[in-house]
Structure 1
């Protein structure tokens, strides 16, 4: 670990070694990265291991419904200007995966950690973070995730009195309410395209008023705080009013918002916006997302969208019609088995695109597209969809396990 004192007890060292051995065996057997199973074994042997590993690190936690993995990657890249960074870059974001990541970062000064929304309070308790970034909260995995207001309450209680500097999105009322229990909050105007989970006031249940980009509750006075950082077009505005150009290889407005929040985070550690944004340009793809791959003599751009808010942002960045679009939806354990969220997505935004539907739940999606009056073809698999698609680059949008299936098939 950074610093001179070794925080690891003999028991902790045995736990780390055993975890790494199990992870290596899992990789050798072709069962993925092994980080989750390795972390589980290590935590079984030493339940306090996460806290011990975090002891000598400056920890930054990133949590949200959408954009966690990308923002974690952008922060890690930018913070590299200040010292060595360890991160759970592959998105294993529950305690076992986080423990594995920290166990691999022996020379790191900083840890940039993506955390599943439900685990944020517990991980914050164990790791004593210097900084916590809260980006957004919206409906996701309806069969197993708590309703968004309950998640916000969990954050609010878990972060009350936290010593961390909290970087929070001023445009998301649920995030603002959750962060308001923290004594030290820096507000970022990062925007909010999806508003359907924030029409009622999280504080009193009253109806939220939304004039322009502002919001407030007409009943209890809960309102949008004044941001000190803001996304403005293609620039980040810092607290001094200076505008810094955003140059990203990642597409879309959502990633500019992620960059603005990331710049605010690394400024806490003394990295200036200009340096931070220049370093963020290095990020081309995140765990396969946004990659353009060649498959069957065609260019496919792979886009991940797991819930209504994510699909809305993704529709805004695809190439205009008549670019063909392949949609793939599964409903396995990691996705959530309830597909009723498909009815919350505005598929009329795909009008004019030739649409091809694949995945375990292609028929659920087909019914939804039929009701949205879209022209589409149901296909057996991605190979058939690519064969049927008209010429040009193809946009492929998939939810979590469907995205992993696609990456395996197209060789990414």
Structure 2
């Protein structure tokens, strides 16, 4: 339980110290935060370290294809109303990065942890979470994470028998199927803009019917559960039917959905919705996402979009035409090396915007935009794109490693 700060064994202490030293060397060498290498070194010295570090915390895990970093940050802010929080706020979400984060939180009451989809079951086994928030599943890095139903099946098997409270999105059939193996689920109507990974029933393979916001399988009866929390416009509806205003500095419907799930999680730990939502207002950007920066005397807003569902949500955020849009796509290991997902994105939504394309895979993106019938310009660098763009604030959309490249270039 929280507050039981049982001292670490000498071996665990050595592992933590060695991990912090490795992280410091990595930072000094300019190789990033060092959290991953630090965690790897620590786990090498004590393979059970993650479980030991989590023992005194009330752990909340957050997993999804999209929105997990932001939701983790919102939940952490909300829970600080009730006690100190340790969190992997920079998004290092595999066991090494999670271990590093928890190693820095010896005085914390709560551990709010973002977890890569592929590692959820293992991290849940090690950390014995009190709650797990499941937001969505959609195609992403198919070369690494496998297809979505297989991932949902791993979750379903891994969560069976878990004592954790599962806070799950009732609007995503894959999430509902994965969470339904658990005895204790709170359903949240958080919405689902992207539906192309959930047209067949995950339970029996039948065709899903989607009248309005509802969904069900006509063949086996698998259907949308009744939610107790819901996003309704700019308000969160709680289980008592009260409506609480959402006031965020983060833009868009997807972030209001993230706030709704976060309010449901916070309520499970005794933080009232009004308090939780007021605290979330302080979050302006998340690991550089949504930041507005000045570069070459121009205002750029930095937006991350890693997969078709993410690009769809991002298009709904951008300022209307003729706002210039710069798009950058890489296909390095951390992005997934397969760019076929570009063909699943409806780029016609960018009609009327001056478009500039860059990144390692700019020609793949250029072919896709050509087929969509859009006007665009291929650029060799961010500097060239900014120099060429017409006046006004520029929307910059990039996938994962391209986003990191851009942040380094603008000094963010």
Partner of 2:72: 72
Deviations 1:96-145 (A, max 9, x none): 00000000001100000000000000000000000000000000012111
* Residue pairs, 1:3-14, within 5 angstroms: 3-14=3-14
SS of equivalent to 1:230: strand
Deviations 1:157-183 (A, max 9, x none): 000011000000000000000000000
SS of equivalent to 1:144: helix
| Deviation for aligned residue 1:295 | 0.3
1:27 equivalent in alignment to 2:65: no
Instruction: Note if contact 2:2-2:58 (Cα within 8 Å) is conserved in structure 1.
Output: no
d(CA) in 2 for partners of 1:167 and 1:352? 40
| Deviation for aligned residue 1:3 | 2.6
d(CA) in 1 for partners of 2:5 and 2:309? 45
SS of equivalent to 1:143: helix
| Deviation for aligned residue 1:4 | 4.7
SS of equivalent to 1:137: coil
Partner of 2:184: 184
Partner of 2:85: 85
SS of equivalent to 1:363: helix
Aligned residue-pair number:
412
SS of equivalent to 1:374: coil
SS of equivalent to 1:348: helix
Partner of 1:46: 46
d(CA) in 2 for partners of 1:73 and 1:5? 24
TM-score, length-scaled by structure 1: 0.99
Instruction: Note if contact 1:7-1:56 (Cα within 8 Å) is conserved in structure 2.
Output: no
Deviations 1:358-393 (A, max 9, x none): 000000000000000011000111100001100000
Instruction: Note if contact 2:174-2:202 (Cα within 8 Å) is conserved in structure 1.
Output: yes
SS of equivalent to 2:37: helix
Partner of 1:101: 101
d(CA) in 2 for partners of 1:145 and 1:97? 18
Deviations 1:178-233 (A, max 9, x none): 00000000000000000000000000000000000000000000000000000000
Partner of 1:62: 62
RMSD after superposition: 0.8
SS of equivalent to 1:186: strand
Deviations 1:17-37 (A, max 9, x none): 100011011111111000000
d(CA) in 2 for partners of 1:379 and 1:244? 45
SS of equivalent to 1:176: helix
Partner of 2:245: 245
Partner of 1:199: 199
Partner of 2:319: 319
SS of equivalent to 2:113: strand
Partner of 2:130: 130
d(CA) in 2 for partners of 1:2 and 1:176? 29
d(CA) in 2 for partners of 1:94 and 1:7? 25
| Deviation for aligned residue 1:5 | 4.2
Instruction: Note if contact 1:2-1:106 (Cα within 8 Å) is conserved in structure 2.
Output: no
1:213 equivalent in alignment to 2:198: no
| Deviation for aligned residue 1:239 | 0.2
d(CA) in 2 for partners of 1:333 and 1:25? 23
Q: 1:364 to 1:355 in 2, by over 3 A?
A: same
SS of equivalent to 2:145: coil
d(CA) in 2 for partners of 1:5 and 1:135? 31
Runs of 4+ in structure 1 off by over 3 angstroms are none
Instruction: Note if contact 2:4-2:56 (Cα within 8 Å) is conserved in structure 1.
Output: no
| Deviation for aligned residue 1:2 | 5.5
SS of equivalent to 1:150: helix
Q: 1:7 to 1:161 in 2, by over 3 A?
A: farther
Partner of 1:305: 305
d(CA) in 1 for partners of 2:22 and 2:151? 33
| Deviation for aligned residue 1:9 | 1.0
Partner of 1:114: 114
Instruction: Note if contact 1:133-1:168 (Cα within 8 Å) is conserved in structure 2.
Output: yes
Instruction: Note if contact 1:2-1:107 (Cα within 8 Å) is conserved in structure 2.
Output: no
Deviations 1:38-59 (A, max 9, x none): 0000000000000000001000
Partner of 2:373: 373
d(CA) in 2 for partners of 1:5 and 1:390? 58
| Deviation for aligned residue 1:94 | 0.2
